[in-house]
Amino acid sequence: MTTAAPLINNTQFSANVTTESQEQSLYQSSGAIVAAIVVGVIVIFTVVLLILKTYNRRMRAKRELEPKPTKTAMPPALGQNSNSLSQQPTVTFIPVDIHMQNR
């Protein structure tokens, strides 16, 4: 007498394996895509930082090499705007009667 061995459904087992491997590959590929995006953003920020640093150095060197304007000898008076600097201030002297007492 032979006993019949139970039949294993191979199609269902292979379908589960392919589904798990597809999910696993999707997770791995999405992780790789996220990692690539993060690395790309870091590279872009590094390039922008280096460009700004070199620009800052050039502008600082340019400012330091430019001749500085000389300041005026007389600073403007308080309360006057720049338009009145071209006019010379006039001072009027009114003599006052001084009565000195003789001792």
**Model pLDDT for residues 15-71, shown as the tens digit of each residue:** 565 677 888 888 888 999 999 999 999 999 999 999 999 999 999 998 888 887 776
Question: How far is Cα 53 from Cα 30, in angstroms, rounded to an integer?
Answer: 35
Q: Which tokens is 78 given?
A: 């308080």
Q: What is the pLDDT of residue 27?
A: 82
Q: What is the pLDDT of residue 20?
A: 76
Domain ranges (residues) in the chain: 35-65
What is the residue whose two structure tokens read 């003599």?
95
What is the residue whose two structure tokens read 């403007």?
76
